[in-house]
Amino acid sequence: MKLSPEYIEFEDFPAFASFLYENELIGIAQMANPIQDKNGKVLIQENAKLKGGMISKLETMHGQYEPIFHIKITFELVERLKSRFIESIYTRLDKDSVEDMISMLFNSETERTISYKGVIEHSLRDSFIVISSYRLWREKKKYFSYSIESALLSMGIAYSVEMPIKYLHRYAFLAGLFMDLALSENEYWKIPLQRDAQMMQLADFSSSLGRKIGLPSFVQEAIRRHWIPGMYWGGGGPEELELDMERISDHPFKLFQDKEIKEPEVEPELVEYLIEILKIVRFLKETMKKVPDNENTSKTILTMFAYNLEKKIFKEEIAEPFIKKFKTYEAIIDRMRAIAKIEKQCQYPPAAWAYPKPQATQVLCKNNVESCPFYERGWDLKIVSQ
């Protein structure tokens, strides 16, 4: 399955027929190209709506025609495909768990859930975006589940801010959904990013792909600029990720040209809010990859976020309302913020290290700076992890 601005391409009959039947497109789908036998006789005309008999006829004529099928992108096709994958987004939204971060952001009040679904529905209006989302849902299900979580976190953070910025929720969802689009064709999304260079490369390439599927320019900009300097460490892995489209001959967006779209009128502050929201999502997602997946995962991630909030890595006007959503962890969050304040008093940063977090009982000097006025001699400790 390959995508272009005018059609969806299949290069073999079984995949073509399966697509039509599994999406109940018989009588709806139209051909963007005529199907001819090897003598030039037209078997199915261009723009013809596909009937069951036509498909059966093609099946019996295997080898007698060139198996290149272009299904025309129409409004009816787009709406049908949207209905196929959007339920997976709603299912994740409706998940109810006291330990799930997304569940805590979106409470279970029915009327609120319905309004959230309306925002998601309106976010997915552009045909390129819908077709691209469908393809990810159909062929890259695990990655699509990963991107749904990013989208819902992004939209949830936007709702927690409660700023009167038009379209903030809608475009926060879209930006989160496609912020890692460059990772859809590989396995990099499963592992933490290790270097700033990798994050810059990912952000830039995802933004470029966003242009091809029709994301507004301000969403592209937010994706390109959301990386957090100095957050990615570990030293493992390659200096750069293999994300060059020119070296990926079968990339699904290979047929796309940069799409000209009619830009909506938005407030100047929108892009800056989207950038800050994506920074929070990036921190949460990368941290999720590093901590054990258990009943304390959300608590661990949120306390780490609160700690970095106090370090001024995130803008308070966006991060503060988000963290206040999680009343369950208020005490431990306050403790982490107090620890960060103490560490910031260090006169030789970043030598001060409260240990053990989050129930710290002492502040260690990692660099053993004996001239520091706060220094008290004790026994040497070897710091093996931060």
Per-residue model confidence as pLDDT tens digits over 141-175: 999 999 999 999 999 999 988 778 889 999 999 99
Q: What is the pTM of this model?
A: 0.82
The CB density around residue 195, as the number of other CB atoms within 10 Å, is: 18
175 against 327, higher pLDDT: 175
Rounded to whole angstroms, how far apart are CA atoms 308 and 296?
Answer: 19
Per-residue model confidence as pLDDT tens digits over 344-361: 889 888 888 888 776 787
Out of 2-11, 113-122, 169-178, 350-359, give the one with best mean pLDDT: 169-178
